[in-house]
Amino acid sequence: MLQTFAKLIRTATLSKSKPLLHHYKTLTTATTTTSKDEYFAAIQHVANIVRRDFYLERTLNKLRITITPELVFRVLRACSSSPIESLRFFNWAQSHHHHPTYTPTSVEFEEIVTILANSNNYQTMWSIIHQMTHHHHLSLSPSAVSSLIESYGRHRHIDQSVQLFNKCKIFNCPQNLQLYNSLLFALCESKLFHAAYSLIRRMLRKGINPDKRTYGLLVNAC
């Protein structure tokens, strides 16, 4: 009888603990979700300041926020349609006077470089690249170089696209399929079809096989 009674107690205890355990998990999940929501809400708040506040640096100083690479990247991404304001925010973020512990990484540099390139602000873009490579000793990734080649192409600066492609080794970027496709895109944007087909032949001579994007660019250009 005692054994039976003990089993009943254990069963009752387990049946009571399960709802409590479930409630605890629910609270933990809710807390995590709330923290994420608050984090992204804070990023959106900072992004709104960057986009809309004429005195954005002064307003940001009052927030006393902790600057991290992820926060800077996410704010830049959210403000990609506001290049001048994005640059002001980036310069503010890396100001050692206000944020001595923050050092920008290649991710944030490449984001602001892409934003400036897409807005046809190439002079400032190259100034940032110089700062990135010479002062911080960081390199542009092949994806970033590819994006810049295509940006030049969209703005019909085909000579600059070709020049960047030819000197990509300066950035320790190999002339791989991604870069060939980007230059092909730039050539097709400028309707330079003979040059595009010459580039394809050069690819094949280099032993670089076209992929789906290569063929897609050629088909769309026809």
The pTM for the full model equals 0.78
Q: Residue 207 is which amino acid? A: G
Number of domains in the chain: 2
Q: Which of 115, 138, 161 is the last residue of a domain?
A: 138
Tokens standing for residue 36: 């994420």
Q: Which of 92, 118, 138 is the last residue of a domain?
A: 138
28/132 same-domain check: yes
112/73 same-domain check: yes
162/122 same-domain check: no
102/73 same-domain check: yes
Span 110-134, pLDDT tens digits: 999 999 999 999 999 999 999 999 9
133/156 same-domain check: no
Which structural domain range is residue 207 located in?
142-222
Tokens standing for residue 168: 């990509």
Span 167-210, pLDDT tens digits: 888 888 889 999 999 999 999 999 999 999 999 999 999 999 99
Tokens standing for residue 102: 């923050």
